[in-house]
Structure 1
Amino acid sequence: MNKLTHFSALVLLIMLFTVKNADAQTEIAFELSFSEPQAHYVDVKMILSGLDTDFIDVKMPVWAPGSYLVREFSKNVEQFGVKGSSGTEILPFAKTSKNTWRITTNHNKKITVSYKVYAFEISVRTSFVDDTHAFISPTGVFMYVNGMLNLPAVVTIQPFAGWKKVSTGLEPLKGFSYRASDFDVLFDSPIEIGNQDTFEFDAAGTKHTVAMVGGGNYDKLKLSVDMAIIVNSEKSIFDHMPNKRYVFIVHNMLKGGGGLEHLNSTVLGASRDGYATEKGYTNFLGLVAHEYFHLWNVKRLRPEALGPFDYDNENYTTDLWISEGFTAYYDNLILRRNDFYSPEKYLDVLCGDIEIVENQAGAKIQPVAESSFDAWIKYYRPNENSKNTGISYYNKGALLGMILDLEIINATKAQKGLDDVMKAMYAEYYLKLKRGFTSLEFKAMAEKVSGISLDTFYKEYVYQAGPINYSIHLDHAGLNLVNDYQGKELASLGLVASNKEGKLIVSSLMRDGAAWKDGISVNDEIIAVDGNRFTGAMEPAKVSTDLDQYIANRKAGEKVNVLLSRDGLIKTVSVTLLKDPKGKFHIENSNDATVDQFAVRKRWLNL
C-alpha cells in the first residue's frame, strides 16, 4: 500500500469514526398527541438531542414496506416548525424536496420539530384518526434524520381523553412510552390507540396479543384456539420462532379486508359481522395464515432488494411471486393441513386461483417476474385495461407455489416438498448469512432440495407469459383438472357493464373479445341490444343477469346490434358474438391413480 493510499484510508477512518461518534451522541424521541382527533389529526413532536452539526435533513418516507406503491405520505404534513433548546427560539428551515426539510440548527444541541399529520384514510397501510381511536401507520407519521436510520428512538403517546389502551409491537418502557432499536423497527411497528378489545394466547413459545377494533360477533376463545393452531403449524415449517411477542391489530368494519405484515405484528381488516358464517370465519383465518406466514417469508426470508429499505424510492424485485405468491399458496394450504378446509374444499379454492389466472387475458401478456417488478406502477394502480395487460403475482405466484410443491414431492418420492425449500432458504439466508437472496439463489436451493433442474419451470412459467400445463403437474398426485365449459359454444360480448347513476355503463373490455374487436368502448352507455332495452336503473345484479342471459341465448358468430350513447351521441354498433374463452374448473381424482401418485397426493393434501 502506497503513502497516498495510507493517507486516504486514514481520512476515511477518521470520517467514519466522526459519523459514528456523532450518531452515538444523538438521541431521538417522539411525542404523539391528539388535540383534534375529530378532525383526523395527530400532533407530532420530534425531539433531537446531542446534535453537533450546522444543519440536518429530516425526511418522511414515501412508501410503507409490504405495500409496493409510492404513496407520498408527506402530502399529509402541515404546520411544520422547529424550535431550539430554549423552546422559544424559532429555527429556520427550507423544504428541499417533496419529503425533505433542511433545518439550520444555529448551534443548538437540542431541537424540537413539530408538525401535524392529517390521517383519514382507512386501510391497513395508512393512518386513521377519529374521536374513537387512532391507528398509526408509522411510515406516514414518523420522520427520520437523513443518515441516522440506525439510531434508536423512543415514542411517548398521550392518548386522547377516554382512550385507555395502546397496542403495538414496539418494546414497552414506562407508561405509554416505547422503544425502537432503530428506524427500520420503528417503521415496521404499527400502533393502535383507543379502547380496543384485547385478548391473548400463547403459541410456539410466543405470547400473542389480539387487539379488536370496531366490535364484531367474534368468539375470543374460539379465535384463540384456532389462531394458535395456525401459528404452531406455520412455525413447524421453519423450525424457528424469531420473537417472543406478536401483536394482531384487527380493524373490524362494515366491510373489511386485507392485511399488512410487520416484523412482530400485523394489521388485518375484517367484516365485523362475518365471524359467524363458515365462509367469513375461514376467510379471516386465511388472512391470519397469510400475514403470519410473512413473519418468515418476506420479513426475514426476503429478496435482496427488500432490506435495508430505501424509504425515498421504489425498491425493485422480480421475486414478489415468491414473497407474496408463495404466501398466498400457503395461507389456504395451512387451512387444509389443519382441517379448516376439507380436501375437496381446498381443491375448489385452488380452482378459484386457476380461474382468475386462466380467465385473465393479461396472463398471456405479462410474465410473473415482470408483474413483481412492476408492482410499483401497476398492481396498486389498476385501470379499466389492467386485466388485459397484466397478472397478479399473488394468484400466479400461488399457482407456481403449488406446481413447485408437486414437482418436489414427486421428484423426491414424497419425502420432501416446498416446505423443505422454504426452511433451507430461511436457515441459509436469514439465520446464517443474514441477508436477502437473489433469484438465482432461490432457484439453486429449490434444485438442490428437489434434485431436478428447474430451467424449464423458470423459463416457461416465471420469465414468460406462456400457458401453465396444469395436467402434467396435477397428474403427479393422480388428479385431473376439468374445464366444465369444454366443448360448450357459449357466446360472449366480451365486456363488463355496471350500474352507474341509473345507466348501464361499460366498465371494462376483454382483450380480443367481440366488443374489443367491433368498437365498443369503456364508458359507453348500453341502451339496448337488438331493440331490447337494458337499464342500470334495475338492480345491478339483475342488469348483469338479464344482459348475460340474452347473450347466452345467442350463438357465437351471430351479429347483434348494440344501441349506445358515447359522450352524449347515440350510435349503433354491430357486434359479431364470439365464443366465450373463459373456463370453469374443478379437480377430480384419476380412476387409475398409482401407489406413487397417491403418495404424492397424501403428502400434498395431508390426507
Structure 2
Amino acid sequence: MKIALFILSFFTLSFISASEINYEVSMPEPHTHYFEVKMEIIDYEKEYVDIKMPVWAPGSYLVREFAKSVENLSAKANNKLVSTEKLNKNTWRIHSNNAKNISITYAVYAFEMSVRTSFLDASHGYFNGSSIFMFVEELKNNPISLSIIPFEGWKKVSTSLTSVGDFKYKAPNYDILVDSPVEIGNHITFNFSSAGVTHHVAMYGEGNYDIEKLKVDMAKITQAATDVFGENPNKEYTFIIHNLTKGSGGLEHLSSTTLQVNRWTYDEDNYKGFLSLVAHEYFHLWNVKRIRPIELGPFDYNNENYTDLLWVMEGFTSYYDELLLYRAGIYTEDEIISKFRGSINNIENQPGNKVQPVADASFDAWIKAYRPTENSYNTTISYYTKGSVIANMLDLKIINSTNGEKSLDDLMKFLYSEYYKKEQRGFTSSEIKKAIENISGLDLTDFFKNYIDGTESFDYPTIFGYAGYNIETVLNKKPSLGISLNYNTISKVTRNSSAYDGGLNVNDEIIAIDGYRVNGKLDEFIQNKNVGDTINVLISRDEIIQSFEFPLKERGNTYYYILKENKEMNSVCKKWLRQL
C-alpha cells in the first residue's frame, strides 16, 4: 500500500472503500462529568468489527489507559442490538453479522483537568480526541464527521477542525480528528493576525490578562517562529487557554495548542513565562508535528512509540522558546543570557546528568520522565533542558564554523524542507547527525558520542568564547545536608551528599538537629557549621525514632556565569543574538 504524508506529520494510507465514520458528542448532564459518544460506521460489512480506545495522547509520552474511563458500551447493527465483548484492555468486538451500518454508544468519564486528557463540569467541556474517540484500525484513514451537541445554554465551540455547519465538523482521517482538541462553553474568544495566519484564541476562566496586549505580543512570537522556517503551513491556528488555579503546561497539535496556566500569570513577574509557553507550543507546529523522528508516525495508539530523539523535538523547542522571545524584543540580552545560564546550571548540578545520556532519556520517557520517583534526580536528566543546552552549543558551533553564514535555523529549515515537504517522512538518528554535519561542515562523531550518547560536560568556555563571552565558575563550598524537605519530611536526597552517605532516606521526618527541634527551618542549623563538622540528626522513620551522626560535606554545586568580554557584539554574537 502506498504511503504518503498529508498536512499532518503522520502518514495517511489509502482509505478502505467508501466507509465513513461519524461521531456525535453530547453532554446532557455536565455536572456528572460524562461525555456521551455515538460512533457510526457506514458501509462496512463484516462478521464482526473491533473498535479500540487509544492508550496514550501523542505529544505526551505515557500510557494513560483511556479505556479505563469508558462505560456502558452498546451497539446496534442495522438498528438492532447486537452482542459485544471486550477482548483486551482497550478493544471491544462488535458482532455486527455483516450488517452494512453499525452504531456504537458509550460514555466517557472526564474529570482530569490537564492538556493531555478531557474534562467536563458545569462550567465548560474540553476534550482531547484520543481520550474520547474509539477507532477501527483499518478505517483510521477514512473521512470522518463530528457533531457536537453542547449543553443547553453553551453557545461556543472552539477547535481547529474544519467547520461544515453549526457545531458540525469534518476531518480527513482519525489522526487529524484526535489531533484537534475541542473547547465547549461560553468562553471568551478573540483573533489576531500574523505571518499570514489568522489566530483564534479561546479563553476559559477568569484571569488578569489584557486581550489587546496579548494580541500584540502573541503576534510578535508567532511571526518570529515563522521567520525561522520562512513559511507557515497553516492558514488558521487555534489557541485554547485555560486559566486555572494550577496550570499543567501545554500540548502541541497540528493547527492548535492547549495551554493551562495559573489565572494570575499575566502580571509583570510571570507574563514572560506565559509567552515562553506560547512560543514553545507554537514552535512545535513545525518541530514535532511536521519535522519528526521517523518513529513518530504513523502512530500506534495501542502501544508506546519509542524514539531516542526527544532531545531534538523537545530540547530544540525549549531552546527556541526562549530565543524567539529575544528575537521578538520581549527579552533583553541580559535576560536571554540568564535563561541560557539557568539551563546550564540546571543540568550540570543534577547528579542524573552523569548517569543518563540524553538519547536514553528520550527513549525511556515512557517509563522514567513521566513516572518520576524520589530517586529520579540522581539517575535521570530532562531531555527538555539538556536538549536546549545541546541546541545552544550546536547553534554557536554552526555559526562559528561557517563564519556566520549559517545557524541552527538553517538546520531547522533543512529538516522541514527535506523530510516533511520533499521526502514526506520522518528522519532517523543517523540522518539528523548527517544533516547537522552538512550544515556545519563539522565531523560530529565525537560530539554525539560524548554528549548525546554519553554524559560528558560541554567545553563551555570555548563554545561561548566564539560569541565573545567568558565563562566563570564558582564552586559552592558551603556545608550542606543535600536534602529537600516538605516541611520536616525529606522529599529528596542528593547522591553522594552528607545525608546520602549518612543514611537518611526519603520520607524520614527530621525532628531535631544537635538536640534542637527543626520545625521546617533546616538552614538555621547548617549555616553556622563548617565542612567536616559532625552533626546529630534525630528522625522518625515509620514512626520509629532513630538517631544518625555523620560529617557535613560541601554542597559541591558549580555555578556557571556567562560574562560578555566587550560591549560590542562580534560577528558570531550578531548572528546568534539577532532580533526581528
Contact 1:22 1:52 survives alignment (8 Å): no
- Structure 2 Cα separation of the partners of residues 585 and 143 of structure 1: 50
Q: Aligned partners of 1:166, 1:473: CA distance in 2, in Å?
A: 49
For 1:33, the equivalent position in structure 2 comes to 26
Give the Cα separation in 2 of the matches to 1:203 and 1:213: 23
Does the C-alpha gap of structure 1 residues 173 and 478 become closer, same or farther in structure 2, counting only changes over 3 Å?
Answer: same
Distance of 2:543 and 2:313 partners within structure 1: 47
CA deviation profile, 1:431-477 (whole Å, cap 9, x unmatched):
10000001111111111111111112111110001222211211111
Moved more, 89-98 or 582-591: 582-591
1:534 corresponds to which of 518, 527, 545: 518
Q: 2:278 aligns with which of 288, 293, 302?
A: 288
Equivalent in the alignment of 1:589 = 564
Alignment partners' CA distance in 1, 2:471 and 2:185 = 50
Match of 1:384 in 2: 374
Q: Deviations over 1:532-583 (max 9, x none)?
A: 2112xxxxxxx2xx31232122111111000111111111101211111123
Aligned pairs for 1:362-381 within 5 A = 362-381=352-371
TM-score, structure 1 as length reference: 0.91
Alpha-carbon distance in 2 for matches of 1:448, 1:377: 34
- Cα distance in 2 for partners of 1:391, 1:452 equals 27
Secondary structure, counterpart of 1:90 in structure 2: strand
CA distance in 2, matches of 1:288, 1:257: 13
Inter-partner Cα distance in structure 2 for 1:35 and 1:582: 56
What secondary structure does 1:425 align onto? helix
Contact 2:477/2:556 (<8 A) preserved: no
Partner of 1:559: 534
Report the alpha carbon displacement of residue 84 of structure 1 after superposing the two structures with TM.
Answer: 2.2
Partner of 2:51: 58
CA 1:22/1:547 → structure 2, altered by over 3 Å: closer, same or farther?
A: closer
1:517 and 2:501 aligned: yes
Residue 572 of structure 1 is matched in structure 2 by 547
- 8 Å contact from structure 2 (residues 16, 138) kept in 1: no
Q: What do residues 92-124 of structure 1 show as CA deviations (whole Å, max 9, x unaligned)? A: 111001000011102321111000000001111
Q: In the alignment, what sits opposite 1:327?
A: 317
Cα deviation, residue 21, structure 1:
10
Distance apart, 1:602 and its partner CA: 1.7
Partner Cα distance (1:83, 1:443) in 2: 53
2:32 matched to 1:48? no
Shift of residue 585, structure 1, vs aligned partner: 3.2
> Take 1:478 and 1:552, find their aligned partners in 2: how far apart are those partners?
37
Q: Which residue pairs with 1:312 in the alignment?
A: 302
Aligned twin of 2:402:
412
Shift of 1:255: 2.7
Residue 6 of structure 2 is matched in structure 1 by none
* 2:557 aligned counterpart, secondary structure: coil
Q: Residue 76 of structure 2 corresponds to which residue in structure 1?
A: 83
Partner of 1:346 in structure 2? 336
Distance 1:522 1:212 in 2: 40
Cα distance between partner residues in 2 of 1:588 and 1:170: 48
Paired residue secondary structure (1:144):
coil
**Alpha-carbon offset, residue 36 of structure 1:** 2.0
CA contact (8 A) 2:26 2:149 kept: yes
Query: How many Å separate the matches in 1 of 2:203 and 2:17?
Result: 39
Q: Are 2:218 and 1:227 equivalent residues in the alignment?
A: yes
| Aligned partner (choices 401, 418, 421) of residue 411 of structure 2 | 421
The alignment's C-alpha RMSD in Å is 1.4
Aligned equivalent of 1:146, options 137, 141, 146: 137
Distance 1:205 1:450 in 2: 31
Q: How many residues align?
A: 567
1:435 — aligned with what? Answer: 425
What is the CA–CA distance in structure 2 between the aligned matches of 1:195 and 1:585, rounded to whole Å? 48
Q: Indicate the residue corresponding to 1:6 in structure 2.
A: none
Structure 1 unmatched runs, 5+? 1-19, 536-542
How far apart are 1:291 and its partner, in Å? 0.3
Aligned partners of 1:491 and 1:579 also within 8 Å? yes
Q: State the distance in 2 between where 1:241 and 1:582 align.
A: 43
Aligned pair 1:157/2:132, yes or no? Answer: no
Deviation at 1:257, TM superposition (A): 4.0
Q: Which amino acid aligns with 2:190?
A: F
Residue 464 (str. 1) matches residue 454 (str. 2): yes
Deviation at 1:150, TM superposition (A): 0.6
Instruction: Give me the identity figure in percent.
Output: 48
| Conserved 8 A contact 2:316-2:387 | yes
Secondary structure, aligned partner of 2:175:
helix
SS in 1 for 2:254: coil
2:259 pairs with 259, 268, 272, which one? Answer: 268
Richer in helix (by share): 1
CA contact (8 A) 2:479 2:526 kept: yes
Q: How does 1:471-490 map to 2 (within 5 A)?
A: 471-483=461-473, 485-486=474-475, 488-490=476-478
Q: Which amino acid aligns with 1:252?
A: N
What residue ranges of structure 2 are gaps of 5+ in the alignment?
Answer: 1-12
Structure 1 115/428 Cα, relative in aligned 2: closer, same or farther at 3 Å? Answer: same
Counterpart residue type for residue 336 of structure 1: Y
* Residue equivalent to 1:115: 106
Match of 1:71 in 2: 64
Instruction: For CA contacts below 8 A with separation 6 or more, give which structure has more relative contact order.
Output: 2
- Report the residue type matching 1:310 in the other structure: D
Residue of structure 1 in register with 2:570 after alignment: 598
Contact 2:244–2:261 (8 Å) recurs in 1 = yes
Partner Cα separation in structure 2 for residue 271 and residue 563 of structure 1: 39
For residues 537 and 375 of structure 2, what CA distance do their matches in structure 1 show? 21
Instruction: Give the match's secondary structure for 1:147.
Output: helix
